[in-house]
Structure 1
């Protein structure tokens, strides 16, 4: 036995191989297929697992998952083409920590936007529109009580608008309103003269002492009212041409409405007088009624503003009337305590007044007959 040289160790021949050394490959005999699937390749030849970013979960176990064994090679049957395995779905990788939280927030916002867009639009199609006013109010979200308030306010506004329109129409008509005369007076109204324009004035405080007929029970004599034979105002001079006193006031007027009005006012006297101007250009008539009180006198002169075309005073001399039915004339009413005076003036030819005519002075001149009423005020309440 040969003794080894000192200092050298004997190399052991064991079954352990050095790193990187591969066992010899075993091949089956020619013409013979291996009995089973080939052995898995050594671990060094396995493809390295793809690195996963921090914070991401590893995918489930699969053919190429680090947790799964390396798939064994399988040989397809003869005559069949190999089938490639379907690749696993790729997972999105985050670039940096916190990206997953921001992505989750964006997904939540997108889901909320999708829910809002999925909600039906409040605007309805024409086929779904609610029918009627109540349906529309209910669609607007009004309660039954609010719906009643809205409808009540709408009806109130509509009624107020209608009433306002009627009042405006009546005001626009004014003194031009002509009531239809009663059936019995139709022929009389067409043939009787009457003023084309009229205006009335209520009683003033000056006549307060004679507001009641009880304070002035005496009848006015005809000669006291028409005591002056000539009346002058400005350039107009009137001369008295006729007078008449009627105890029954209905005989001094025509028209059923005016007759009834005088009866209700307690008329006890009707005094009439006619005048002609010195130049015979103008004519005038003055009528004075003695009534129950000042309220009756005010009511008479105000009612004639609309009723004067359906009833007026008669001329003193029907055979020779100063006014004609087709001529132009004007009238006015003046309440003085429990007395009411009616003025009737016009041109003698019945023509309308022009720039040369002064109907104001003509009216003031004929009212000179009212001096008798002022004397009654002084007689009832004398000045101290």
Structure 2
């Protein structure tokens, strides 16, 4: 009996890897099940690809995958940073949340009197170009960003271009004079969502410039009814190395905001904490 049982087990047809219980219950043979799985897998790849195209398409025309695409789509003067961070207006700028309370226009003297910005780590940024004008649209590119600045009733745009004393870094600070803090916060939100499709134009100078296609970083800070935009990079266009401290460069560049802090003091009579 044992011998007969062994023979029956040896002659039993091995179960196929493609023999799935659910499909077997439906009466499908192993080869039919295998074909069905292959077809389903192929359809899954197609569905995934179509979904990916739909997601990319939903990002809108403002999305551009790399620096080369940005330059090709926007033309000359449409460089933008590779990374971006934005912040809404903090409480200390509440005294100047509305331009009506800070109506005096910005002047070149208060913005550009200091020709250098320095930090405690001996990093020094030297002013090499400056500009203050009433045409905010002229310093921005990207239709959505330009429109948002117009909605915010931008009346002044200041730009200052710096280079570090060792020639290693290039940095630009842009300051927009808007209607109120709400308008400034909305511009920060616009940049967070679409900085790849709209940014500030770079000031031109023989002493310093952002290399075409080079790596840069940017940020925007609502300061009451003002918007400050920082833009930094290495002069050679390379990505930051371990010895590079872009945080220190950014903090040093934000020394250009002193004029805004002075306006808070002029209204409150107290130094902001």
TM-score (norm 2): 0.71
Unaligned stretches of 5+ residues in structure 1: 1-125, 127-169
Q: Which has the larger radius of gyration?
A: 1
Where does residue 185 of structure 2 map in the other structure?
Answer: 298
4+ long deviations beyond 4 Å? 185-188, 318-321
1:232/1:258 Cα in 2 relative to 1: closer, same or farther (>3 Å)?
Answer: same
Unaligned stretches of 5+ residues in structure 2: 1-25, 27-54, 64-69
Structure 1 residue 200 corresponds to structure 2 residue 86 = yes
1:246/1:188 Cα in 2 relative to 1: closer, same or farther (>3 Å)?
Answer: farther
Deviations 1:279-333 (A, max 9, x none): 1000100000000000110111122012111111111217777113411000000
Q: Which structure is higher in strand share?
A: 2
Structure 1 residue 261 corresponds to structure 2 residue 142 = no
Alpha-carbon distance in structure 2 between the residues aligned to 1:302 and 1:181: 14
Give the secondary-structure state (helix, strand or coil) at the position aligned to 2:204.
coil
The offset of 1:186, in angstroms, is 8.3
Counterpart mapping for 1:19-30 below 5 A: none
Relative contact order (alpha carbons < 8 A, sep ≥ 6): 1 or 2 greater?
2
Match 1:371 to one of 254, 258, 261: 258
C-alpha root-mean-square deviation of aligned residues, in Å? 2.6
Alpha-carbon distance in structure 2 between the residues aligned to 1:305 and 1:246: 25
When the two structures are aligned, how many residues end up with a matched partner? 210
Deviations 1:251-283 (A, max 9, x none): 111111111010001100000000000110001
Structure 1 residue 189 corresponds to structure 2 residue 74 = yes
Deviations 1:168-218 (A, max 9, x none): xx9xx9xxx964249xx9855254211000000111110010000000011
CA contact (8 A) 1:179 1:306 kept: no
Give the secondary-structure state (helix, strand or coil) at the position aligned to 2:197.
coil
Where does residue 252 of structure 1 map in the other structure?
Answer: 139
Alpha-carbon distance in structure 2 between the residues aligned to 1:321 and 1:194: 17
CA contact (8 A) 2:90 2:223 kept: yes
Deviations 1:133-169 (A, max 9, x none): xxxxxxxxxxxxxxxxxxxxxxxxxxxxxxxxxxxxx
Match 2:219 to one of 309, 313, 332: 332
The offset of 1:381, in angstroms, is 1.9
Give the secondary-structure state (helix, strand or coil) at the position aligned to 1:240.
strand
1:289/1:321 Cα in 2 relative to 1: closer, same or farther (>3 Å)?
Answer: same
Give the secondary-structure state (helix, strand or coil) at the position aligned to 2:211.
coil
Where does residue 123 of structure 2 map in the other structure?
Answer: 236
1:178/1:242 Cα in 2 relative to 1: closer, same or farther (>3 Å)?
Answer: farther
Where does residue 99 of structure 2 map in the other structure?
Answer: 213
CA contact (8 A) 2:170 2:208 kept: no
Counterpart mapping for 1:265-304 below 5 A: 265-304=152-191
The offset of 1:223, in angstroms, is 2.0
Give the secondary-structure state (helix, strand or coil) at the position aligned to 1:279.
coil
Counterpart mapping for 1:113-128 below 5 A: none
1:236/1:319 Cα in 2 relative to 1: closer, same or farther (>3 Å)?
Answer: closer
Match 1:227 to one of 113, 121, 125: 113
1:317/1:188 Cα in 2 relative to 1: closer, same or farther (>3 Å)?
Answer: farther
TM-score (norm 1): 0.51
